[in-house]
Structure 1
Amino acid sequence: MVLDPHRWLELRRFRALYESGAMSQRQIAKETGLNRRTVAKYLSGEVPAAPPQRESGALPRQRAVDEVAPLIDAMLRSEILLKGAVIHERLAQEYGFAINYQRVKIYLQEARPRIAGELGINPGELAGLHRRFEVVPGAQAQVDWGDEGRILAHVGIPKVYSFHMTLSYSRDPFCCFTTSQDLATFFDCHRQAFAHFGGVPMSIVYDRTKTVVRRHVAPGEAVPLHPEAVAFAGHYDFDIDVLAAYHPQGKGRVERQVAIVRDHVLAGRAFSSTEELDAAFTAWVPVRRARVHGTHGEVIGLRAIRDHVALRPLPRAPYVVAQRHLRHVGKDCLVAFDANLYSVPARKVRPRQLVEVRVTKFQVILHSTVPDTTGGTLLAVHSRAVGRGARIVDERHWDGLPTGEGRRTTTGDDPRPRRGLALREEDGPLRALLSRAAAARVEVGRRPLSVYDELTGTRPFTTHPSAEEPC
């Protein structure tokens, strides 16, 4: 009897498990239903020209996965792309089957295309595979963010992010660390990356981040780009390549680089500023460039030379990206932006007036929406605050406002008698208590404690009858 071709292919898949020691020949024979000698012959390297045959008269052996195969098929029919780990987890939790995950995984390699054929779906679209692409030097770079969490929380910086740009041809990396992911910071990191590489790639690949894409659209529709992103790309002469939704493998080079930097630069070290983080990456770059890359098989630094030479030149003047927002002026001449407060001149604004806030990575620039008599709109320029809850004030902006120094003192003795409260001798002590100044001058009688002992008929509490206490 000739063995089922699927079972023969399954036997070939067990070679890696056997060579790694994960399964023995007896376990493989039990799993595949083949004779152990046949399995041993194949695993020893003596591969027969035709699929092995089951011994004559031998009954088909049931695999451990055959018992749960109908359940797996039912799960695939409901969701053909259901992951093997999820199926294995549900078999254990919902049905109580303690089956080896590798057996489920191997069964899925046969079952998924079969179920897909039953459902009329092209099996080639289900494997999660993608075409590996290579580019010429200088043709492409990929960009991504990394969330480094509370790595600087001990110095009062609650969140740190890592910006990554990787040249696709050589895998030459760039990374810098920031405390924000806003528009100005995002493109300032681009300028640093271009300076690091010595030029600009012909195109840059992004996912659908809000600093590049103005809004999300349905698959297949044209993606509306952020105006500042379009202006920045036009100034530096590169094309914006936005990936399709849920397609992260399109920028796998930079996503892999995020994990590499995290392992080789950050792991097991302590830092006190983003400058120290940047310095640590800069020190590690020569080590990375000296390695042979596992995919293209060349030294990264040597391949990067060809990449850098092919980059487009940098423009003479940098393009400074600024966020623009409208905010109201408070009664205290402060404008709120990003949970921080910035002052404006009191003589040039009024309460609740709208002003324009232009924000770069390092500065907050405040402009009036209406030009003054000279045609100018600039109100103030401040250094951008780090973190939240800060108040950035130029004291000159409050010139002319009341300081409170001329207020009358409301505490202490007032030598001038108030109107209607002049004291007379016949007013008596009760009237005197109505005046704080007069009450402060009331003399308190003092008598020995023995007087109270005599009045109450009790023994004295002290052996010093001369002691006096105020009554």
Structure 2
Amino acid sequence: MIKELKSKGLSNTQIANEVGVDRKTVGSWLKKNTMPAYKTRAVKESKLEPYKAYILDRMNEGCVNAAVLYDEIVEKGYQGKLTILREFMRPHREKALSKASIRYETPPGKQAQVDWGEFFAQQADGKFKKLYAFIMILGYSRDYYLEFTENSKFDTLVGCHERAFAYFGGVPETILYDNMKTVVAHSHKAGSDKWNQRFFRFADHHNFTPVRHRPYRPRSKGKVERGVKYVRGNFWPRIKSFTDLVDLNEKALIWLDTKCNARLHQTTRRIPKEALLEELLQPMNLDPFLATDLVSRKVMNDCMVSYESNYYSVPFRFVGSRVGIRDLRNGMIEIYDETGSFIDSHRKLSGKHQMQKMKKHFEGLLTQNRQAKARKAPLVIPDQSPKVHQRPLKVYDSLIGEVTQ
């Protein structure tokens, strides 16, 4: 065709425009006597090819994060770029996201799920304070427990568990956790070595089995993750103000009892607090697991102990003794004697140099003090000697005069 057009007097540029090729290509082809031949390029196998089956399997399991899958296949030997992986995943992503999941239901008493949520409250000075919400949900009944705390540290986590067990009236057989460091020490290890050993002892103390949530499998911990969203969307907007954590947790308990656990659950079509009666929970160990050493303080003469620059009363019989203070980090502190026996609890004071007294701690002290003073006072003893009638001296002078006359 090119040679024919050339024979008709067209220029190389006109021919190039006519047949849709470059002008230089027209010139090189006109110099040849035979038709140009094209060699088929050998298709080079993609660096991703050996890993495609693994990637599709992981996407079917619910992991659609390209960065996560990239790290996994790099460990298996992949040497390509992340962009190649993204291109391969793009047409499969929508199918993986829309894939129906099989709901995992547990029998009564079998499992609970635990997670933390972060919330922010505005203080009087305009600054925002971070609060932590501990949430435990029973798998069968969907009964919730909610508690707000100052932090999510180990001793706080342990205390929240024990109060949740008390609220539910028992302990489930297993509890599911994500990879929080207070629970899981080594996510890559197996057996008991993967657990934080202090938490493992706590689980043994209350006779339940901790179960680790499999990474990148959000559906396996969906109950409690939806629970955090439910608290954020249903409870938190109801709270316009609160005085302290104790006040906030009192509001949370009212919400649990009157709204959350009293509603018709959309999945089970049952009321959680009624289904709770069917949970086959184990009895909880009534001895608290003291996760941290108690803060030792000496009881002063005024029946007060100092903690974080504030003062709290204890029964007067402990004056001069040492007691232990346990900060629950939920707005309350507990006081124990030297044997570890519980004495009393106080609402935690904010600020400094404040004092909190309980009237009952001083009952009997005033009476005892008065009795002690009476015993130490001098006794008034009546004079027991014979009484002698006393006369003026002039009487005796007159008597002597009579005798001498």
Higher relative contact order (CA 8 A, sep 6+): 2
